[in-house]
Structure 1
Amino acid sequence: MIFLQNGTLRVEIADPGEHPNDGVRFDRAGFITDVVLNNEIHFCGSENKNNIHKTTHGRGLCCEYKMDASSEADIGERYPKLGVGLVLKEKEGRYHFTEKYDIEYFPVEVQSADTWAQFVTKAVLCCGYAAEQIKRVSIEDNTLTVEYELKNVGEKEIVTDEYCHNFINIDGYAMSDDYILETPMMKDFGNDQVISKYTDAPSKLKACGKGFTFSDVNKDIILQDMDIEGTSAELPFVWKLRNKAAQASILAEDLYTPSALCIWTTDHVICPEFMHSISIKPGETCKWYRKMTFIDEEEDQ
């Protein structure tokens, strides 16, 4: 475990291969398992173990690349899962994040000091794809910054969605209407219960203008893709998640315009997932960052 500390923030990062950073889904570089403000307020939670699907042990600010190259490998061959490693294709069908796979992990070089850690994921050519990633996690005062650099050193163009899962729980508070997700750079979503795209019935997710809240304490899983047409292209893209009862919040800045917004929640975590669509030709590099400022609103009053 890597600990970054500066007297205001403490950030906990699981080393590659250390649980929960030992699966086949999440980027193994910079797997942030907790953020603690003023040695008191925790901001990270875990994926629950009683999902409708097998748990993938997501936690905190873990990230994922969604490129699926399984169709480009024959049975008995390997294909790349960006950020993770080379997956052995043992049967027909697409990669699925809940399955267990034989995997050869990409090498990750790690350096760290008191207030920063850097992770270099080495490239391994497979199916014509190869990418080197440099991820740097740093803290200053009450702000966490994660900088990303993805270089295509392979033979084929890399086209993928990348996102942070944001398994967020503020100060231990269960899901309720105390949680408010503010999206000031997106359209006005109205003030009605959001209709589930899966059941065509009202969900527990409620629009509140340029943002969302929840109608009551929610024990059901919500998975909702939102229509984000009209989102401002101004950078950085800003969003905020706060809990009124905890009097604490996260103010986030992303150096990309989200291509999609998926909101996944259960009784104890909210996961606002702002997708980053990436296309990188061989020899090209894509750079972006995410910043989160962790706020004790009671202290700021």
Structure 2
Amino acid sequence: MAITLHNSNLKLKIETPGEKYRGSRFDWNGTVTQIWYKGKKMLAGEKMLFHRNNKIFGRGLHNEFGIKHCVGYEDIPIGEYFPKIGTGWLKKDEKPYFFFTQYKLDVLDFSWQKVSDTKAIFMCDSGIRNGFGYRYTKTIELKDDTFQISYNLENVGEKKISTTEYIHNFLLPAKKNIGPHLELAFNWEYDKANLLENVKTENLIDFTANGLKYQKTPDVEYFLGGVWEARKDKNFGQNGKWTLTDSASGIKMSETASFVSFHTDVWGHKQCVSPELFIWLDVEPGQSKDWNRTYSFEG
């Protein structure tokens, strides 16, 4: 059963592990599936309305570990199990790892607690297989017009954990289709020519010095890869942040990371814009790593 957190201006719906999503890609360990800010919905999904399957596709603020740098896949033989953090143990097949594949899944041991109307904690313990093992805790807490998602990843295995984590922020303020009323900005300037990928943005997106504006409502899926890597000043020691401004509703929503971005993408479609700040994680056996993301609202 979903958990609801709330204060005077914010309400969050958080899906408990295995409640609906049961795929082998995204994190199960507590997922914010909807945000209401002053009564207005802010989130959508990986697929457009009427094309969604909540069991296998992402929704809301759905995070993922190891979309490309998957832990342990190259270290084990076909038929053995590798860890997908926060998801489960996945059975390796004969092909290279691919995040869209629905792997055979052994589910983790999950637990959770609603501490108060403004705080919830989600936990999972992987056990140890093939030398890998971890404990992973996610804490979600509201304060005024912000909430923070805090992470702790403890390596309890014998092998180093090296991977990425990011949130697919499926944003759709006030349930209004993506369009010219929206502007996305990062806290750095970047050079469009130096993007690693720029897919289907012609006649759709106007590029600003530090972000983008829409010319119209998208009729295709679009993608910008490597927005962080394309930054002009090459100051790669700055923590990442994005801000989405909605002139139609007067709402601003932002995510501020506690870490230096390893990589940044933007993806979306007619009913979604998804800015993605990646963190790189190196966690030695017996060590742990903490990081957080703070979401703020104005308007």
Fold in common (TM above 0.5): yes
1:100, distance to aligned residue in structure 2 (A): 2.3
Is the counterpart of residue 274 in structure 1 residue 277 in structure 2? yes
Structure 2's unaligned 5+ residue stretches are none
The alpha carbon displacement at 1:203 in A equals: 6.4
SS of 2:74 mapped into structure 1: helix
1:58 matches 2:58: yes
Helix, strand or coil at the partner of 1:62:
strand
| Paired AA for residue 214 in structure 2 | F
Q: Residue 44 of structure 1 aligns with which residue?
A: 43
Name 2:97's counterpart in structure 1: 95
Q: How does 1:124-143 map to 2 (within 5 A)?
A: 124-143=127-146
Q: State the partner residue of 2:170.
A: 167
Q: CA deviation at 1:153?
A: 1.1
Find the aligned partners of 1:151 and 1:195 in 2 and give their Cα distance. 32
Q: Does 2:237 match 1:233?
A: yes
2:105 is aligned with what amino acid?
I
SS at match of 2:219: coil
The offset of 1:188, in angstroms, is 4.1
Say whether 1:11 aligns with 2:15: no
Partner of 1:207: 207
Q: Give the C-alpha shift of residue 42 in structure 1.
A: 0.9
- The offset of 1:214, in angstroms, is 2.0
User: Which sits farther off after the overlay, 164-173 or 219-228?
Assistant: 219-228
Q: What fraction of aligned residue pairs are identical, expressed as a percent? A: 24
What is the DSSP-based 3-state SS (H/G/I as helix, E as strand, rest coil) of the residue aligned with 2:166? strand
Structure holding more strand per residue? 2
Q: 1:283 aligns with which of 275, 286, 298?
A: 286
Aligned to 2:147, what secondary structure does the other structure show?
strand
Return the letter of the residue paired with 1:233: G
Structure 1 residue runs of 5 or longer lacking an equivalent are 297-301
Tell me whether 10-19 or 67-76 shows the greater mean CA deviation. 67-76
Given that 2:35 and 2:41 are in contact with CA atoms closer than 8 Å, whether structure 1 keeps it comes out as: yes
Structure 2 CA distance for aligned equivalents of residues 203 and 278 of structure 1 = 37
Secondary structure in structure 2 of the residue aligned to 1:171: helix
CA contact (8 A) 2:145 2:297 kept: yes
Q: Does the Cα contact within 8 Å between 2:246 and 2:252 map onto a contact in 1?
A: yes
Aligned-CA RMSD value? 2.4
Structure 2: how far apart are the matches of 1:8 and 1:27? 27
Letter in 2 for 1:110: W
Task: Report how far residue 283 of structure 1 moved.
Answer: 1.3
> Following the alignment from structure 2 to structure 1, what is the Cα–Cα distance between the partners of residues 62 and 286?
27
Q: Measure the CA separation in 2 of the matches of 1:141 and 1:261.
A: 28
C-alpha deviations, 1:153-210, integer Å up to 9, x for none?
11111111100110011001211122111112x22446x9x895457x8363331111
For normalisation by structure 1, the TM-score amounts to 0.88
1: CA distance, partners of 2:248 / 2:238: 32
Q: 1:121 to 1:253 in 2, by over 3 A?
A: same
Counterpart CA distance in 2 for 1:160 and 1:231 is 23
C-alpha spacing 1:246/1:110, structure 2 compared with 1 (3 Å): same
Return the alpha-carbon distance in structure 1 between the equivalents of residues 235 and 204 of structure 2: 24
Instruction: Note if contact 2:242-2:275 (Cα within 8 Å) is conserved in structure 1.
Output: no
